[in-house]
Amino acid sequence: MDRTLNVVIAGASGRMGRTLIEAVARAPHLRLHAALDRADSPSIGRDAGDGAGLHTGVLIGSDVARALDGAHALVDFTLPVATLAHLDACRAGGVSMVIGTTGFDVAGRGRLAEAARAIPLVFAPNMSVGVNVAFKLVETAARILGEAYDVEVFEIHHRHKIDAPSGTAMRLGEVAAAALGRDLETDAVHGREGVTGERTVREIGFHSARGGDIVGDHTVFFAGAGERLEITHRSSSRANYALGALRAVRWLDGRVPGLYDMQDVLGLRGH
């Protein structure tokens, strides 16, 4: 029988935080243990379910150590600086983490890898089950189509997103690059303007747009001579990300320390 897991949600007053709180409240065998926000947030002291029209009995706070006392996992879709602070606290408290935050630099990713020696982490730029299937489809297509097809990644998100390209777009490019034996450090091209010259064979292009309330659309184009293949995923609700994150919470229960991603959670690794 599944045991009930105590879950902490970071960024409780944000769009994703509210979606996660609602998802936890409706999920079997999960319990909202605590909700966190920055110390100067006007939501401090309010019921965590206010933004979702729920009464949870859990008040939003800013004391991370207190929130983690008795918790099994923390779910974090915030900003790199906040996530890394939560990471240190989880490591000290032996609490698992599910991280959907994007925009980490090399040093930040190194800190995630270091912490994963002590606690189990699921870190993924996109927790959606559909997006992670798309990663696998892109890998397969790149491997089969090879050098004869040019790869371009397009993404569009809401006007409030602060990083570009999205973490999902970059992961799609990384998957294609790995399958093709390329390195995004040298082969990525971000947008094009002016007289750029002909496209090189090794380029993987990234293009971003921002506007309105678009949750997130991603398309990878494989353009060859006389045909093109498009792999597209469109999100119409953040609930998909939340459901994937909670699936990761359950999967982490009882795992040994390590840095995992949604390919591990969904059993897609190596398939």
Query: What is the rounded CA–CA span in Å between residue 69 and residue 226?
Result: 60
Q: Which of 86, 157, 218, 233 is catalytic?
A: 157
The DSSP code for 30 is E
How far, in Å, CA of 213 to CA of 5, rounded?
A: 33
Closest listed residue to residue 237, CA positions, set 50, 74, 38, 22: 22
Q: What angle do CA 77, 170, 210 make, to 5 degrees?
A: 70
CB of 153 within 8 A of CB of 169? Answer: yes
Q: Among candidates 79, 128, 135, 68, which has minimal Cα distance to 108? A: 79
Helix, strand or coil, per DSSP, at residue 264: helix
User: How far is residue 244's CA from residue 227's CA, in Å, rounded to a whole number?
Assistant: 34
In contact, 212 and 135? CB cutoff 8 Å: no
Clarify whether 157 is annotated catalytic: yes
Query: Among this protein's residues, is 161 annotated catalytic?
Result: yes
Q: Which of 130, 139, 176, 177 is nearest to 271 (CA)?
A: 139
Contact criterion met (CB below 8 Å) for 30 and 247? no
Residues linked to residue 204 through DSSP beta bridges, in sequence order: 151, 188
Residue 122, both tokens:
């699921």
Residues annotated as part of the active site: 157, 161
